[in-house]
Amino acid sequence: MTARIALDIMGGDHAPHEIVAGALMAAGGLDVELLLVGRPREAEAELRGIDNKRIRIVPADDVISMDDHPTESVRAKPNASINVGLRLVKSGEADAFVTAGNTGASMAASLLTLGRVKGIARPALAILFPTGDSATLLLDVGANADWRPIQLVQFAHMGSSYTQKMLGLAAPRVALLSIGEEDSKGSQEVVEVNQALRNSRLNFVGNIESKDLLKGHAEVVVTDGFTGNVVIKLVEGMSDLMFGELRKVVELTPWNKAAGFILMSELRKVRRKLDYTEYGGAVLLGVDGLVVISHGRSNARAMFSAIRAAKDAVEHGVLDLVREVAAEIPAKARRGATNDAPAPTDEEDI
């Protein structure tokens, strides 16, 4: 199955050059058809001299910048690359949409264009990153700074089913990020989520502290979008700091350089495990279409990984899976899901 991926080539700090470079990597190494959404002149300049039947340009005259107000810009610029790309998914011309552009605008446009899966109150950004010999899905990592306990319970159900499919696990371990392992630790809302998950059908293993997040104690870790975003960026920052300092140490003496040369291949393996460009971006679970939002500073490698993540989501039927999960979530965990109505029309709903 060839996945058709709409790619926003105008979004991100290094657009369009790095985005198109990532697209070319994907076209050469993955079974995908890529729809490059953006200003044709800029796209053609990046593709000059390249003839690839797996790539075609879809015109989009406007761009939503990183500084634009998310909802206002989505409505004011209907022909922006984010809006055009999502309409390709809505119409069925593309199976998924990938962007490294304005995260708030990407989420707002996803809700307005695709709507929410029936039964899901809020979407969550979920990122699957390596931990030890396995991987952990962390959600939410930025979609919801303000939240209610019901939403985190729904995130847990979506995350559990997602890892069952993506990692081939029968009963993924689900944990709740908190300030202590005891069920009583955390805010009143976190304790409420803990109790709801204790009484759920999920394989809930209790609270987990941030110090244990990378140790592989759970395949799914649930938190709110504010906390999750802080955590993932801290991991990225610590990775950069650690390997930056290690590089300095290796350069200190000839003996250190020799040792560094011997260990280089192993150090690169460790570096790849912590490198955000290998994560592949975050999947927006809960909207009625497949959307992958990558880091704003994504380079070509990061965009290749994001396209790969979108392809994997298409091939594993992630959207149908989320729809099934939403229908099966117990009634108690569905209260507050207001999306039986049409897609949101005001900023408060977004």
Q: Is 287 helix (H, G, I), strand (E, B) or coil?
A: strand
CA–CA separation, 145 and 344 (whole Å): 18
Residue 226 burial (CB count, 10 A): 15
Band (pLDDT 50/70/90 cuts) for residue 335 is low
Backbone angles phi, psi at 318, to 5 degrees: -60, -40
35-58 pLDDT, tens digit each: 999 999 999 998 887 877 889 999
Q: For residue 195, what pLDDT band results from cuts at 50, 70 and 90? A: very high
Percentage of residues of the chain with pLDDT beyond 90:
53
**199-226: per-residue pLDDT in tens?**
999 999 999 998 888 888 899 999 999 9
Range with the poorest average pLDDT among 90-104, 178-192, 246-260, 330-344: 330-344
- Check whether 344 has a pLDDT greater than 60: no
Amino acid 171 reads A
Give residue 275's pLDDT: 61
Lowest mean pLDDT among 170-179, 244-253, 327-336: 327-336
Residues facing 220 on adjacent strands: 137, 174
Half-sphere exposure (Cβ direction) of 105: Cα atoms closer than 13 Å: 29
Report d(CA 337, CA 247) in Å as an integer: 49
Burial annotation 256-273 (CB, 10 A radius, 16+ → b, else e): eeeebeeeeeeeeeeeee
Q: Could you tell me which residue, 117 or 273, shows the higher pLDDT?
A: 117
CA distance 278 to 11: 19
CA distances from 318 to 159, 212, 307 (A): 11, 28, 15
Weakest mean pLDDT among 107-111, 140-144, 239-243: 239-243
Nearest Cα to Cα of residue 10 among 42, 34, 33: 42
Report whether pLDDT(276) > 80.
Answer: no
How does residue 303 score in pLDDT terms, banded at 50, 70 and 90? Answer: very high
pLDDT at position 350 over 50: no
Which pLDDT does position 346 carry in this prediction? 36
> Which segments of 80-173 does DSSP mark as H helices, in order?
81-91, 103-114, 149-167
